[in-house]
A and B are shown apart, each in its own frame.
Chain A
Amino acid sequence: MTDSALRPCYELVTLFKGGRTYVHSTDLLASLECEAGRRLGAEAWVGHLTIRRQATREVEAWFEPRADAFGAFRLQGPIGTLRGWLTESPRPITRRVPYDEDALLASVRFEGDAAVLPGAVVGFTRFEQMVTLWKALATRQVPGPWTLAQVDLDGPLPPAGPLEVQYPRTIDGRLKLGVLSRTGAVLGTCRAILADAIVARGRHR
């Protein structure tokens, strides 16, 4: 491990995507996956991510509990797991990168109660493809500002091939348990919540 890999805290996400004014979960996942690789080896992945409220300032990742955390994560790999917490720094985000989700949405197919991407979409990460699928299906079923509050992955996302999502369980019309699969094999789950339904709390997780 390098010296930087041993730090208890590091800067995670420092940009906005497209017209958004909050840090996107796909950027958190991508940045955390890089850190998983650095700390746990090339085969490591982000096994768990919880986001309890939107972040609008630069995000920091900590490997020790934080009372001011807005999220938490778990990195997993062949040599073990690492828990971490996400906080917002005082620093505002000033960088913005182009992001055209419509181009990705155009590739999404709805088949029965599932949303499917037949294959990897050039120009978008697999995290972006996964999250877009989940949000597109939730919005199709119940229009509204859905947010992914929790993502759990059983392993690294496959770089190619189809992705399919379904919501086998909906609670009270505003909480959805999503399943991500590829040719019938489950890859992970999500908890999608109508954005106005989640109430952040002050204690650390």
Chain B
Amino acid sequence: MNEQTTPEDVVVKPPVTPQSLVPVFEALDSGLDIDRLLRGITFREAGLDSLDIFNLVLAVENAAGIKIPDEDLGQLQDLPSLASYLDRRLS
């Protein structure tokens, strides 16, 4: 029995880098290999399913204080592209 950081506890501020998004993934407790994500493997290649993607989008929106439009989702295929996108939106 233990307590852990939840996605609601994480805050993302610029400059956003792939490394700065690691706490978001850790808080999701998804069991993903974050080192592989940092090397640029796509979310799908890493094994994320629709529920994972859903939770990731919600966690990132909450942490960054923004809403990601549906038309932008296609750009967010991996951790580096997600970091670049958030950096543009928040800067």
Q: Point out residues on A near B: beta carbons under 8 Å.
A: 50, 52, 79-82, 149-150, 169, 171-175, 177, 191, 193, 197-205
Contact = CB atoms under 8 A, between A and B. Distances in A.
Q: How large is the interface on B (under 10, 10 to 19, 20 to 34, 35 or more residues)?
A: 10 to 19
Contacts of B3: 81
Given A191-B55, A204-B31, A173 B70 contact: yes
Contacts of A204: 31
Given A177-B58, A191-B55, A203-B47, A171 B31 contact: no
A191 B51 contact: yes
B10 interface: no
Contacts of A175: 50, 53-54, 57
A199 B50 contact: yes
A172 B56 CA distance: 14
Contacts of B58: 169, 177
B31 A193 contact: no
Contacts of A202: 47
B35 interface: no
Given A171-B73, A205-B31, A193 B47 contact: no
Contact of A52 (B1, B51, B53): B51
B30 interface: yes
